Structure 1
Amino acid sequence: MNKINLILLFAFIFSKGLSQNNGLIYPDFIGETLESIHNNLQWKVLVKATGDLNDDHLIDYALVLESKDSILEKRCPSCKLSKQKPRIILVLINENNTAKVMVQNNKFIARGDEGGMSPYIEPELLIENNLLTIFYQFTRSNQSYVFEFNKSDFIIKSAKSVGVHAASGNFSCDLYDFKANIITCTTGHISNDMENTKLIEIKTKPKKLSEFGEMYEWEVVENKYL
């Protein structure tokens, strides 16, 4: 076997092994209890929120899990292959006094090194007024998503994207209202009270939490991403 064929063979074996590892890294937690999740030796609970999500006055849970092992991931077509710890979001609904996983998403939660200028990020979770909020604080911006319970899943209700340009001081704030199907876009400068506001109609269908891909993959309207 010549040198070129040998290199190609090793590359093929590596790519097959990588794809298999990526396929095996995510366990199926649907239907699992909180106890069984804590007993999983390959994953740790990174963030946890408790509260009533479906208005039955019982305690539900939202969890972000992080793998204890790092793997090579390519998170978007233009992204480089990088070594990082995958994350999963789980939502557990309490039925008959036992909380079980109803929703799982393996892609949506940002990895620790996906914070831009921030060396490390992790989301904040909040359950309040039967709503689940996922919030990220970046160096000069923040992003939030609000989901509500709907037929065994969670539909996005609203979102907010805020950013400030470091050099100019210009800011932008986009409020997404998926009930009214409107984005309220506000721009201005941090040094004064003058603001410009415009409304953009949302024509796309709201997504379920289980349907979300990587952050900012979804183009809600032209040049507006969640």
Structure 2
Amino acid sequence: MKIKLTLFILICGFSIQAQSFKYPAMASQGRTIKSLIPAQWKVIDSVYGDLNRDQIADMALILEFYAPVKESRAYGDNTTEIITEIQKPRILAIYFKSGKSYKLAKQNNNFILRSEEGGAMGDPLRPLHITDNKLNFLFEGGANWRWKLNYTFKFQNNDWLLTQASNNSYHASSGEMNEKQYDFVNKKRLVITGTTFNRESANTSKEEPLQVKQLRTFTSFKKPWTWEISPDEFL
């Protein structure tokens, strides 16, 4: 009986990978999280807060599919370095509260890193936050050399604009670090170098102009690590 059950699970898994996977369209509105979740998906993170400045708490969800599938993911510059991985797809869904219902404001199937994209540290996804009407994402991964990526999106002019970000790399043992903080609204980059130990006294910082023609959105910035801001400088 155990052998038959194992074979059944393996066959089901192979069937999912072999078929052409399609993302579901998130429910346009609903009163509860349960009413919004597509079949075979689960919520792995959620956060509440005002995102459209109407003083009503909105909601952002991250959902994950129940099984791994073949998925093509962009690396490098959004277009050229596409690789295929077998992993559980994830969806970002943002809902605005209107009356007693939540109404879909954005669905994004690409931006959230998957559980296998964090390297030796495992799942890179860290909890969502809403601060000052902005949605904040944090990812962390690596091995001896580790990285932290932070992104802040603001809803403005009926779109989601990337207003701030940071890229921090550091060595787990030596503490050697390099951090870049990006202010896309004021077009400034703050570069901090030094060590994670006694950082206030040992580190140096330098502010530089940032050449950005227009603010990126979820559409023009597909996923972490795919925006080459300058030669060999990825965010």
TM-score for the superposition, normalised by structure 2: 0.78
Quick check: 1:199 aligned with 2:217?
no
CA contact (8 A) 1:153 1:210 kept: no
Q: Which amino acid aligns with 2:234?
A: Y
Q: Which amino acid aligns with 2:60?
A: A
Out of 217, 222, 225, the position equivalent to 1:208 is: 217
Quick check: 1:116 aligned with 2:119?
yes
Out of 133, 140, 165, the position equivalent to 1:159 is: 165
Out of 165, 177, 197, the position equivalent to 1:171 is: 177
CA contact (8 A) 1:108 1:215 kept: yes
Quick check: 1:29 aligned with 2:26?
yes
Aligned partner of 2:61 in structure 1 is 63
Aligned partner of 2:150 in structure 1 is 144
CA contact (8 A) 2:59 2:95 kept: yes
CA contact (8 A) 1:156 1:178 kept: yes
**CA shift for structure 1 position 127:** 1.2
Out of 130, 134, 158, the position equivalent to 2:133 is: 130
CA contact (8 A) 2:27 2:36 kept: no
SS of 1:74 mapped into structure 2:
strand
Change (3 A) 1:210 1:37: farther
Change (3 A) 1:108 1:174: same
Q: For 2:148 and 2:188, how far apart are their aligned partners in 1? A: 20
**CA shift for structure 1 position 79:** 6.0
**CA shift for structure 1 position 86:** 0.4
Q: Percent identity?
A: 29
**CA shift for structure 1 position 108:** 0.8
Task: Describe the superposition over 1:82-135 as per-residue Cα deviations: whole angstroms up to 9, x where unpaired.
Answer: 211000111111223321111111111000010022122323201122111011
Aligned partner of 2:96 in structure 1 is 93
Q: For 1:131 and 1:194, how far apart are their aligned partners in 2? A: 29
Q: Which amino acid aligns with 1:32?
A: Q
Change (3 A) 1:97 1:220: farther
Q: Which runs of 5+ in 1 are unaligned?
A: 1-16
**CA shift for structure 1 position 81:** 2.9
Out of 30, 53, 65, the position equivalent to 2:51 is: 53
Tell which deviates more after alignment, 103-112 or 146-155.
146-155
CA contact (8 A) 1:49 1:62 kept: yes
Q: For 1:151 and 1:211, how far apart are their aligned partners in 2? A: 16
Q: For 1:220 and 1:97, how far apart are their aligned partners in 2? A: 42
CA root-mean-square deviation: 2.4
Aligned partner of 2:231 in structure 1 is 222
Q: For 2:125 and 2:52, how far apart are their aligned partners in 1? A: 25
Q: Which runs of 5+ in 2 are unaligned?
A: 1-16, 75-79
CA contact (8 A) 2:123 2:141 kept: no
CA contact (8 A) 1:30 1:103 kept: no
Q: For 1:206 and 1:180, how far apart are their aligned partners in 2? A: 11
Q: For 1:198 and 1:29, how far apart are their aligned partners in 2? A: 42
Aligned partner of 2:85 in structure 1 is 82
TM-score for the superposition, normalised by structure 1: 0.81
